[in-house]
Structure formats: C-alpha cells, structure tokens
Amino acid sequence: MNELNKLYKAMLMSWGSVIKDDARIVVSINGDEIPVRIDDMDLHLPLSEVLDGNCIDKVFFHPACENVTSKETEVFKVIRRLSTLKLLTTFSEYVPIMFGVASKNTKQAWRQNILDMLEPLKSAKRVYRDELKKLFQQMQVEVNDNGVDNRFVHIKVTKGGGRGKTGEKVYYKAKPVFPFYNEIVKRLARSEGQSDNQTVELNGFSVSIGALKLAAHLFKEILPIVETPDDLEVESTSQVGARLCAYLGCYYELAEQLNRIQNTFRADFDKAGVYPIDTNWYEHLDELPEIYRQVPTLDYNSHNTQDDEVAVSTTQRNNQNLFSVSGSGNRNQNTNTNQNQGNNNQNNNQGGNRQPNVVGGNNDGSFDTTVPPMEYGDNYLKTELDYMNGHVNHYAVNNNGNQVIYQCTRFGNLLRRIESNMGGMNNMMGMGGMGGMNMMGGQQLANGMILLPNGMTVMPQQLQQMMRPTTAASAPGGNVDYSATTF
Amino acid sequence: MAEITLTKAVFGMGNQNQAHVHRHNILDMSTYNIDTVKMEQHQGGVTPNTLNAIAAQSGGLTTKPLGYVNIEDGWNIRRGLGMLNFLITNNSVETAELAVLGYMTGGMASHEGIEPQTMFVPVRCWDTRTTQKFDNMGLPMASTVITGSHQFLMGDPTGRDDLKSVRPIDMAQEVLGYMASSADGMDDGFDGILAADLKQNVVMSKTDNLNPTHHARELLKIAAATTTEGQYTGIANAIGDAMVGPGIGEAPLTSNDFFKTMMARGGSFSMSNFMGWSMAEIHSVFSNLPDVMNITLLDPNATVGVDNTLSSHEYGGANSYETIASELAYLTVHMLIRCGLTHLVFSATNNPHHFSGLEGSETGVEVVTGTFGSVLDHDDHAINRVERFKDMLRGLFFAKYSTQFAHTSTMLSVKVSCHLFGETDVSVFFNGEENNERKYVNATYNVNRTSTNITSSQAGLNEAQNFMQNITDYFTK
C-alpha cells in the first residue's frame, strides 16, 4: 500500500469506515455495514492491485485529485457525510457521560471553570434531561427533505482569492457553521424572560426553554467554538486538493476540540468506552503534493458530475441511502428537484398547493398560458399548469375522440404533442409486428434482425422506414393496417 | 458534377483481440496551469504559446474505463477488413482520391467472392488531392497532399448502450444547448443535442480529435474566449463565436463522397441505426466492384492468425500502463495520417539511462524507427514523413510526461507497431523496469466503435458539460 492509500485508509477508518479485503469501503454503524455507493457503483480504495484489475463498475476514493475549478465532487460529498456524522455521533455520546460526571461528588482538583461547567448539569431536572435527549436526536447530518436545517455542523467551503496570512494565494477557505445551535440560541433570545417550563417550537419540535438552556450550555462547554465560529477559518494555499485541505483543516480543529474535554474526564470516558477521534493522519496531509500522483486522476474525484445545489436535496433520509450518491444518469430526477426548489416560492404564495392547478385561480403570472397553434382537427379543451415540472399542459381532443396534450414550457414554448390513442393502439401494433414484415416477404432472425429476400439484413426500425412508401400507397390516410387486422 | 469511380477494393483479415473499453478525451488542468491562464487573461489575453503548452500537459484520457465496447460478433474473432479506393474527378488539373476503410460482418467469403449480404461497415476515410503544377523550371509536376481524414463514429450495434459523441464541438454545443434550455425554464427537458446522439446519426470526427492535446486546446480556446469576448457579448455568444473557429469545425457526413453517393443512389437519407452497407448495395452503386476486387488475403489461411488475447493484457483496469497505451494507440493513428504513413514500427523513451543522459539526446526523447510505409504509391519522400512523425511524437505525447525537471518526469519507454488499418501494439514500461513491460493491442479498424470521442455514460457527458461550466465560472468570477 502506498503512502497515499495509507493516508486515505487512516482517514476513512477514523470516520467509522471499514476497508474490506477487496478494498471496498463500507460504513459501520452499530455493527451494520452499509456500502458506500455512487451511481450504483461501490466505492473502493484505489490500491494498485485493484486498479490493475477490472475497474469498470467501481468508483474510487481519490479526493486529492480534485480539479481546482470543480464544484464539490461526488466523492467529496461522501467525505462530508462521513466526517460530519463522526462529529455528530461523538458529540451525542458525550452528553450522557457529562451528566454522569456531574452527578458524582466534586473532586478537589477541579478548578472553577470545571465547576461552572458541571453545575447546570447537576441541577438539571429529570424532565429537561429527557427532553434534551429527544432534542439532540433531531440533529442531522444534512438538510432534510422539507428544507428544515437541523444540521449539527456544516463546514462551509468557499473559493478563496487574495493572499492569506503567509502571503500565498488562498485557493479555498473553510469555516464551520452550527445551524442547530444557532437555532437554539435564536429561540432562547426570543423567549427571554419566560419561565423554564414554557414550551417553544424549534424547527417544528416542541421543547421547553429549560431544556434549550441546557442544550446551549452543553454546546458551549463541549465545543466552545460554537460561539465564535469565524475564529476557525482555515485557509488552504495548497495547489493539490485545495478544497480537501481546507475542509479537513477545519474538521481537524473541530475534532480536536471535541477530544479536549475527554482528557479532563478521562476515567469517565474510559468507563463509557468513548475514546478520542483519531486525527493522527492529519499531519500527513502536508505530504499530499508529493504523494497525490501515486494514484492517477480518476473520475467522480476530479470533476463534479452534477450540479452543486441539487445534490443536497436529492439523497439522504435514512442511513441506508445516506451514503449513496447519485452523480448522474438521472439528470431528469435531479433537475426536477431543482425545479421544485424554484417553485417553492410560488407554492407558498398559493397556500402550499402542489397539485397542478386549473388556470383561472392562481396563476401568478410566471406561466405563459397562451395556447399554441394546434394541428388540424384538434379541439382545444382546457389548460393546466404543472408546477412540478414547470410545464403548461394544454388539453385538446382530436377527430378520433382521443385526448391530445400540448406540453409547453412555462415561457410558452411548445415542448411536445402527446396523443393518447387508446382506440387505434392494437391495430398499430399489428402493423409494427409480423403482419408488416410478411408484406415485404422478410424473415425474422433469432437476433431480432430481419432478413429480406434480396439477402439484406436490416433492423426492424429500418424496415419500417423502408416500408413507409408502400403502405402509404395502399391506403392513404395513416392508419393503414386497419383493413388487415380488423376485418 | 464530380465523378466518383471505384478504383481498388482490397480485402484482408484482422486478428482476435481483447475486449476493448470506452475511454474518452478529458482536459484536466493542474492548479498551476489554471493560474497561468488566468494571469495571462488579466494581462489582455492568453498567448497561443501558453495555450499549446498547457493543452499538451492537460489533455489525456479517462483513467477509469466507462464500460466495454459492444461490437458485431464480439471481439474474440478474426474479422474481414476492406479498403475501397475511389477516384474523384472534378476538373482536369485536380484529381482527388478517397480511401474508405471498413470491416465486414454477417456473411461468408470464398475465393469466388464475398456473399452479397455481407455488411461492409465504414470505419475511417482519408482524401488525397493531386494537383498538376509546374515547377520552377517550368516543367509539369504533380503535387499530392492529404486533405482530410475522418472516423465515422457509430452507435452501439447491439442497441444496449446510449453512445454520444464528445468531439470538442459537441461539448461546446452541449453547453450552449443547456444554457438555452435553462434560460427557457426547462432544465429538465434538455437531453443532449441530437447531433451528438449516435443512435440517430453517424458522426464524422476528424482524426485530430484522437489527439488529446487537440481536444484540450480547442476546449481551452472556448473557455478563454468566454472570459475576454464573453465579458462584452455574453458567454453564450462567445461560445457560439468560438465554435466557428477552424480548429473545432467538423465536416458533415454528406461531405464524404462515398457516403453521399451511397445515400443518394440507395435512396436512404436517414443514418439512424446505420449498420453499414451490404456488398450487394455497394455493387449496385459501383458496378465495377467485381473487376477491381482483390480478396486473396480475405482467407484465414492466407495469413497466420495471431491470437492477441493470449499475448496482450486485458483492458478494463485504471492504471497508468493501460491509459498511456490507449492514448498512444489512438494518437499514433492520428499522427500516421497526419504524416501520410500507413504503418510504422518504432520505440521511444524519455528515460536518460537509455541514451546516456543529455549527451545522447538534445530533446530528451529518443525515437528509433523501424519499417514504415507511405499512403501514396511510389513515395520518394517517405523518410521525411517518418521524421515528421518523430517530431509530432515528442510534441504531442512526450511533452506531457517529460517536464523540465527530471524528478517530476514520468520515465517511460514504449515499443509501438502501429498500422492505419490493422492492430496497433503498444508495449509500455516505466522507470526502465523492462521486466514489468505490459503489452496492449488496439484494433484500429474498430475505431468507429472505440474512438476516444465516444462516451458511453451519462456521467461522462455531465462531467464534460460541468467542466466547461466550471472553468468558465472560474475564469469569470
């Protein structure tokens, strides 16, 4: 294993991942091993032996080769999830231990600051503690489906620019944001003066002010940086893996801060089996410019395969698919979500009604409902707005009594004409099937190709094209084989 | 009206090969290079020199293969190959020759001829033009130049994979198309441009596109244009303007005289699901086919078959050996045509230990050539073509691997036997480790399926498209 893979392995292991014998990366949560997948391919460590073998259905973990122009790559999103999940679980494990410490007798050696830390915990009422437990369970790794931001921590990485403290060019900057803690503080500030047993709403979760105060206290004591997150801005001047270095620099500081409090109460943490987050690999990050070429540039690592904003909302929910990233392949699905985000505002104005709306009520003017010119024989019926896809559907009926939809963009440009011909369907099938081929005297071969009498083999689609003049001559008007199969 | 005459139809056999994989051209610039471009941009514009140097260092192939290439009858068979030569007469002073190379599928052949239902699948073509001139003594002389060479990119013959072409112009059009449809509020409706959809089309791709440096340079030019011109006219307009440049332009299929004639006489104008033309069809258009046909070599017993699956490495890995071997296999074909050679055997290295350091070579790259052949009959200047080939090899291939510092160079040695129509063997080893040599064989007569301008995955296409957007963002913001 080369130095780069050793670094990757240490990094991944410290986030609770397991590297299987075949270099597959799985995440171990409470004993369950969850595979990490991108576009339905398993994530692997880029060991030379694995790269030498068949790599067609594999994705590799090689974040150091990320191009500086790229948006966050799919592999980087995995890093984000794994590392913030580690911070979140570690923080959650601390809470019962801290209460345990506080409930014991005061030690002589403790200085005033430790006493200050433990005092509110010691005096905390049982009911607040129970509430606190539930409150902390609300914390998540990512913004959830409904757009509620209960993230424990988010490490914000921004493009740098300018010169850093050392005078070198800064490529990326990273600093932490604590959305959940910020929400708690906001709630507390708004309900100042109210009694502790008053309940307030925190992102849709009812909680008493007493529990909130306790939560804020714990945050401040365990992770003091929550009060001044700007102090933790990490700048990356490395040309190699600039985003990665900035992000991990920030992660390292957070992990170290979490580790610090363990040393104060070492014995208690030992008893609970909670040990510091392993950050020993961090010092090797400096070697990245020398070692990153040990593995060649790989896709899903060098450039992003989908749009940045969309990614956050499409995946996640439960642990099973938390680690499955969809890079592409379903551009439609991804951009649909994008559309939905765009349409949220409109829907809010309309009382959150997400169903397609009949025009005449609530078109707010952002949809052009002009009826497009229709084909001869199509009689216009009605117009509906499709907010989900940002389309305008114009319904009509054609001569045969079938429904026709003219689908337009919200700017009024015709996308497609959809005709649902229930009646004529079976007959059409007859034409496309064997009936049509016999007319040409062709034989269908085992591989689906058709052998014509002149010795030519063609695809069925080609045959249909070739046949078009013949059929048109025999019965003008389109539905040719009406006669052949119906009568 | 130009007249087209079939002058020669030679057929032969290929060998058994490993299954090939899809790899496409990419541009991956180092941070240092991006800073350089940005800096020059601020100073008023990127110089062509910088652009070329950076393109040579940044172009390459995807390391990870995107999937196996599907082909009629699979890879592990000996395949019939054919070359059709046409004479195109426009006027008395100028004659053009067109050579179309292809392979055969779905029929039998004997010494009496080829079965009429056998399909001829066109793979690549080139034109030469002979002009009657007078030299400086006033004596008549003929001057012959190669005016163009193309591959015909085709969709998956099995219909399983959705293949798209990713020539530089396709990528620019993708970005434009995406920008247009998102401005129209239908981001989800954009499903790629039709011209790049190989299910619907046969796409002509010029041989330059097999050169990753060319690919990189064309994309860089567009990206650079968005920041200078784009500041005044808007990015979409700048991309549009950059797309009419000479380097990025592509010829339409109908500009190929063979395709044009076959389509016109055969009455088929749709190239959707094109599977090739049967010998009977070609015969019906060029009735002298039996007279000019040479099929002595279209016989498995005429030549000894080589089972390359036994002697070469499998494709499918994501290591430097395979990437470099593939890159070189496609690149040498481009260089052969550029130089007017049909085949060449050479070995080359940038490892100073092999040529006693700087004293041994001025350029830091040593190339030793073996047998070669010219595309022209009776070519007196073939040796000059080989010299040109050597220069191109240094500039397009080794420039990327030998940096100005010995400690950052990739020391590699290659042995290549390349054929315009046949297999190209590439053996690679690094750092002088001759015992770790690996040999890969690329069937150059299947480049219509394997070309580096075809991508098999949506991810590849998105990545390409995002790349353009990202680099534009990076330069403008």
pLDDT digits (tens, 9 = 90+) for A63-88: 998 888 888 888 999 999 999 999 99
Domain segments of chain A: what residues? Answer: 3-325, 355-421, 426-471
What's the Cα-to-Cα distance from A347 to each of A364, A385, A411, B182, B183, rounded to whole Å? 10, 12, 18, 20, 21
**Paired sense of beta strands A58-60 and A41-44, if any:** parallel
Cα–Cα distance between B212 and B397 in angstroms, integer? 9
What distances in angstroms separate CA B474 from CA A228, B39, B186, one per listed residue? 30, 12, 25
Q: Which residues of A422-431 are buried (b: 16+ CB within 10 A; e: fewer)?
A: eeeeebbebb
Q: Give residue B225's pLDDT.
A: 79
| Contact at CB, B28 and A67, closer than 8 angstroms | yes
Terminal alpha carbon distance of chain A = 74
Give the nearest chain A residue to B21 (CA atoms). Answer: A56
Rounded Cα–Cα distance for residues A93 and A275 (Å): 10
Let me know: does B207 contact B124? Beta carbons within 8 Å. Answer: yes
Give me the torsion for CA of A170, A14, A117, A179, rounded to 10°. 50
Cβ–Cβ below 8 Å for A240 and B31: yes
CA dist B333 and B342 (Å) reads 9
- Give contacts of B463 with chain A, Cβ < 8 Å: 299, 303-305, 328
Does A55 sit within 8 Å of B459, measured CB to CB? no
Cβ B385 vs Cβ B373: under 8 Å: no
Per-residue pLDDT, A430: 38
Asked if A470 reaches chain B (Cβ–Cβ under 8 Å), the answer is: no
Distance in angstroms (rounded) separating the CA atoms of residues B140 and A402: 74
Instruction: Report how far residue B100's alpha carbon sits from residue B448's, in angstroms, rounded to the nearest whole number.
Output: 12
What's the pLDDT score for residue B464?
64
Please tell me if residue A359 touches chain B, with a CB cutoff of 8 Å.
Answer: no
Residue with tokens 């000894």: B304
Q: Please say whether the beta carbons of B39 and B111 come within 8 A.
A: no
Closest CA to A315 of A327, A304, A305, A303: A327
Select the residue of A48, A56, A413 nearest B65 (Cβ to Cβ): A56
The answer for B 421-450 residues in CB contact with A (under 8 A) is none
Q: Mind telling me how many Å the CA of A378 is from chain B's nearest CA?
A: 24
Whole-angstrom distance, CA of residue B330 vs CA of residue B334: 7
Interchain pair A390, B188: CB under 8 A: yes
d(CA B459, CA A331): 9
- In whole angstroms, give the CA distance from residue A450 to residue A438: 11
What tokens does A62 get? 């090689």
Quote the CA–CA distance of A305 and A301 in Å, as a whole number: 9
d(CA B215, CA B23): 14
Strands B3-13 and B293-294, bridge-based pairing: parallel
Q: Give yes or no for A68 touching B (CB within 8 A).
A: yes
Distance of alpha carbon B316 from alpha carbon A273, whole angstroms = 45
Whether B66 sits inside 8 A of A409 (CB atoms) is no
Q: Which member of A328, A411, A455 has the closest CB to residue B462?
A: A328
B316 touches A54 (CB < 8 A): yes
Residues 336-365, chain B, touching A (beta carbon < 8 A): none
Q: How many helices (H) and strands (E) does chain B have?
A: 16, 19
* pLDDT tens digit at each of 477 positions of chain B: 578 999 999 998 888 899 999 998 888 888 888 888 888 877 877 888 888 888 888 888 988 888 899 998 889 888 899 999 999 987 777 888 999 999 999 888 887 888 999 999 999 998 888 888 887 888 887 777 888 889 999 988 888 888 888 888 888 888 888 777 777 776 565 667 777 888 888 999 998 899 998 998 888 888 877 777 766 777 778 888 888 877 888 888 888 889 989 988 877 778 888 889 999 999 999 999 999 999 888 888 877 788 888 888 899 888 889 999 999 999 998 899 888 888 999 999 988 877 766 666 667 788 999 999 887 777 777 888 899 999 999 888 888 887 666 666 778 899 999 988 789 999 999 988 888 899 999 998 899 999 999 887 666 667 666 777 777 777 766
How is residue A326 written in tokens? 């969809």
**Tokens read off for B110:** 């004997």
SS3 labels along A228-273: CHHHHCEEECCCCCHHHHHHHHHHHHHHHHHHHHHHHCHHHHHHHC
CA–CA dist B298, B10 (Å, integer) = 9
Q: Rounded to whole angstroms, how far apart are CA atoms B420 and B336?
A: 7
Q: In the prediction, which pLDDT does A115 show?
A: 84
In our burial notation (b when 16+ CB lie closer than 10 A, e otherwise), range A140-170 reads bbbbbeeeebbbbbbbebeebeeeeeeeebb
Dist. CA B212–CA B445, nearest whole Å: 20
> Minimal CA–CA distance to A82: which of A251, A262, A291?
A251
Token output for B143: 């001057």
- Partner residue opposite B184 with nearest CB, options A239, A413, A457: A413
Cβ pair B474:A68 closer than 8 A = yes
Which of 284-343 (A) contact B at CB < 8 A? 296-300, 302-307, 327-329, 331-332, 335-336, 338-339
Question: Do the chains contact at B459 and A169, CB–CB below 8 Å?
Answer: no
Q: Are A37 and A43 in contact (CB under 8 A)?
A: yes
Q: Which of A32, A69, A394 is nearest to B37 (CA)?
A: A69
The one-character DSSP state at A412 is: S
Nearest chain A Cα distance for residue B357, angstroms: 25
B95 touches chain A (CB under 8 A): no
* Any B CB within 8 A of A410 CB: yes
pLDDT of residue A154: 92
> Cβ neighbours of residue B54 under 8 Å, at least 6 residues apart?
B29, B33, B36, B37, B216, B220
Contact B457 A303 (CB under 8 A): no
Question: Cα distance from B372 to chain A (closest Cα, Å)?
Answer: 33
- Supply the pLDDT for residue A434: 41
Q: Alpha-carbon dihedral of residues B61, B66, B71, B77, nearest 10 degrees?
A: 80
In chain B, the residue whose alpha carbon lies closest to the alpha carbon of A243 is: B31
pLDDT for position B134: 82
B116 interfaces chain A, CB cutoff of 8 Å: yes
Say if the Cβ atoms of B65 and A55 lie within 8 Å. yes
Residue A175 in contact with residue A250, Cβ under 8 Å?
yes
Which of A171, A303, A335 faces B31 most closely, judged by CB atoms? Answer: A171
Strand (E) or helix (H) holding B217: helix B212-228
- B-chain residues near A338 (CB < 8 A): 187-188
Asked if B467 reaches chain A (Cβ–Cβ under 8 Å), the answer is yes
Q: Do B318 and A51 touch (CB under 8 A)?
A: yes
Helix (H) or strand (E) holding B386: helix B382-392
Question: Does the beta-carbon distance from B185 to A457 stay under 8 Å?
Answer: no
What are φ and ψ of residue A209, in 5° steps?
-65, -35
Which of A68, A236, A416 to mutate: most B Cβ within 10 Å?
A68
Residue whose C-alpha is closest to residue A10's, from A278, A291, A301: A278
Torsion of Cα atoms, A211 then A214 then A218 then A220, to 10°:
120
Nearest CA in chain A to B67: A56
Tell me how far apart the alpha carbons of residues A308 and A324 are, in angstroms, rounded to a whole number: 16
- Mutation target for B interface from A41, A45, A169, A303: give the one with most B CBs within 10 A: A303
Q: Are A304 and A74 in contact (CB under 8 A)?
A: yes
Say how many CB pairs under 8 Å bridge A and B: 155
DSSP β-ladder status, B25-27 and B59-61: antiparallel
Which of A439, A415, A450 lies closest to B273 in space, CA to CA? Answer: A450
Of B63, B116, B474, the CB nearest to A297: B63
Q: Do A56 and B117 touch (CB under 8 A)?
A: no
Chain B residues 49-78 with a CB less than 8 Å from chain A: 60, 62-68
User: What pLDDT, on the 0 to 100 scale, is given for residue B476?
Assistant: 67
Of A48, A328, A409, the CB nearest to B459: A328
Query: Tens-of-pLDDT digits for all 487 residues of chain A?
Result: 889 999 999 999 999 899 999 999 998 887 888 888 888 889 999 999 999 888 888 899 999 988 888 888 889 999 999 999 999 999 988 888 888 888 887 777 788 888 888 888 888 888 888 888 888 888 888 887 777 888 899 999 988 777 767 778 888 999 999 999 999 999 888 888 888 888 888 888 888 888 898 899 999 988 999 988 888 888 888 888 899 999 999 999 999 999 998 888 888 888 888 889 999 999 999 888 888 888 888 888 888 776 543 333 333 334 444 555 554 433 333 333 333 333 333 333 333 333 333 344 444 556 777 788 788 788 888 888 777 677 888 888 887 778 888 888 877 778 888 887 554 444 444 343 343 334 444 455 555 555 555 555 555 555 444 444 333 333 333 333 333 333 3
Contact assignment for A55 to B68 by CB distance below 8 Å: no
Say yes or no: A418 contacts chain B, CB-CB below 8 A: no
Kindly determine whether residue B278 and residue A456, on different chains, have CB atoms separated by under 8 Å. yes
**Is A358's Cβ below 8 Å from some Cβ in B?**
no
Residues B148, B206: contact at Cβ < 8 Å?
A: yes
